[in-house]
Structure 1
Amino acid sequence: MSPHAEAVIDGYLAHLAADRGLAANTLASYRRDLARYLGHLGTRGRRSLAEVDEGDVVAFLTALRSGDERHRALAAGSAARAVSAVRGLHRFAVREGVCAHDAARGVHPPARPPSVPKAIGVAEVERLIAAAGPPGAPLTHRNRALLEVLYGTGARISEAVGLTVDDVDTAQVRLRGKGGRVRAVPLGRYAADALGAYLTLGRPVIWAHGRGTAALFLNARGGRLTRQGAWEVLQAAAERAGLVGVSPHMLRHSFATHLLDAGVDVRVVQELLGHASVTTTQVYTPAGVDKLRAAYAAVPLGRPTS
């Protein structure tokens, strides 16, 4: 490969730094990827970027995924980054008049496997909820009920803070999800008990400070609890419990993971989470849906494994 190709790479990386503001570490990774690409082209007898065809790019992608005597096989994410660098280089070369055609246009990076969302264990959930606050305080009843609802129903934080008192009964909560879709989610014993204590001992005291809102979860002034306020409740409990990195969405992930671990059918979990497609829910089952039991087991929502 001619020195001119290296000059094109230098120009391409300078363009990325100046016009797109890529970080130095990213640019260094791109430079390594493109140096490997030039070496690959050299083994195929290409003397310039203008001589490259789509088959050369496809062969490079294959080499990235399979490895060779000098390079280990790359995971899909790393291979995707390298192919993205190559595709960008060829687009740049065409724009600069170095090449008449874009040899990489039809080659797409390998699909990254969906990442399994992080979840915490049942024991950690129990520690978190136990750290809701001083026993007996009205806000502690609220905090405990909020945490139990987030975990015990898999509610998104926006769905939880959007609840009204009329959305709750002894058996279920009605959550308003994306697109305005409403779904009824059963209440397990723990969540039902926490909500009952909050509605009896906590909410009336807090509600008296406000203007009579119908919101279920209230802030200290008697108004509707905001997303930020709910986040702060969770973070304070996590800090008291000695847990790091806990988020409302992690509780949602934990709800789904624990139900699936207990044998609940993936389509039932899909309905409980409010996913429009079962494909979204299957991210929780990397081993495959076939390993799940076909029926919905009698699991008490709120503590699936207790």
Structure 2
Amino acid sequence: MANTLTDQLHSFIEYLQIEKQYSTYTFEQYRHDIEDFYVFMKEQGLRSLEEVEYFDARLYLTGLHEKQLMRASISKKISSLRSFYRFLNREEQLDTNPFSFVNLPKKEQRLPKFFYEEEIQVLLEACNGDSLLDIRNKAIFELLYGTGIRVSECANLQLKDVDMALSTILVKGKGNKERYVPFGSFAQDALTAYINQSRPSLIKEQSHSAVFVNHRGGALTPRGIRLILNKIVEKASLTAKISPHMLRHTFATHLLNNGADMRTVQELLGHSDLSATQVYTHVTKDQLRKTYLAHHPRA
């Protein structure tokens, strides 16, 4: 029994690594979820995945609720097991998937937080300065807001990925998927100033091709970028907390509010599923008011 379960899990993890190209963190989460279920199977006297029935899947779900896990955690565990069984079905190792009809707990619908255009302007003004780090920080902010890339994608950006002539960057996203993202004139000016004036002095004697570097000359990490953004907020004296993902939300929201179609925004964000982009279809109260005043005959 143990060998079969171990072999099946090993095959699935290989599939996630090689075919799906998931990150180490992601496939280790899958491994953890499945190993938790193996513990449940042992407690229930189930010797193989083939013995697991819909009733057992429901019983496992009930146990997760009794442990008072968050809905998102429960959904992730059930989704992991559903994917695991689906893989084994595809490989013709199993004929059934007892988790196919298990209802996942509904997620809380939270609108993503974003900045209004006036707030972005205040933050941009806080980026102004003549020091090497000021020039770098403005380039980071302009690029994050101007492209909507993830903080990890920003940290991993290499000099060869930046095409100033075409005003595009080559971004390596989740699952090593690549996409080209355009950037505007403001981001281009900020990047040009940073790469020509600031980066050569910051990098010192080190030799690497990371676009953004820290004050010691090493490649800037995602954590380092978060700290920079927090300092910009402090300098701007805004009460709102900032995160790189909040700038991503703002990028998408401002595009949609100004008439961009959802498919284009999906492509720019690197979302594989349109449903991940649909969360940004909310509009601000200001935008609703402007639309109403502009188009309603009795406004």
Question: Which residue pairs with 2:17 in the alignment?
Answer: none
Shift of 1:138: 1.2
Moved over 3 A (4+): 106-110
Helix, strand or coil for the counterpart of 2:210? coil
The answer to whether the aligner puts 1:160 opposite 2:154 as a matched pair is yes
Shift of 1:88: 4.6
CA RMSD of the aligned region, Å?
A: 2.5
Shift of 1:130: 1.9
Helix, strand or coil for the counterpart of 2:170? strand
Which of these residues, 100, 106, 111, is aligned with residue 106 of structure 2? 111
* Unaligned segments of structure 1, at least 5 residues: 1-83, 90-105, 288-306
Shift of 1:246: 1.0
CA 279–107 in structure 1, closer or farther in 2 if over 3 Å, else same: closer
Distance in 1 of aligned mates of 2:173 and 2:190:
23
After TM superposition, list the pairs within 5 Å mapping 1:76-155 onto structure 2.
88=66, 111-112=106-107, 114-132=109-127, 135-155=129-149
CA 88–228 in structure 1, closer or farther in 2 if over 3 Å, else same: closer
Which of these residues, 218, 221, 243, is aligned with residue 247 of structure 1? 243
TM-score by length of 1: 0.57
Question: Which residue pairs with 1:222 in the alignment?
Answer: 217
Shift of 1:155: 0.8
* Unaligned segments of structure 2, at least 5 residues: 1-61, 68-100, 284-299
Q: Which has the larger radius of gyration?
A: 1
Helix, strand or coil for the counterpart of 1:174? strand
The answer to whether the aligner puts 1:199 opposite 2:195 as a matched pair is yes
Question: Which residue pairs with 1:211 in the alignment?
Answer: 206
Shift of 1:142: 0.6
Distance in 2 of aligned mates of 1:160 and 1:88:
41
Helix, strand or coil for the counterpart of 1:217? coil
Distance in 2 of aligned mates of 1:188 and 1:251:
16
The structure with the greater share of residues assigned to helix is: 2
Count of residue pairs the alignment pairs up: 187
CA contact (8 A) 1:210 1:221 kept: no
Distance in 2 of aligned mates of 1:112 and 1:180:
28
CA 212–118 in structure 1, closer or farther in 2 if over 3 Å, else same: same
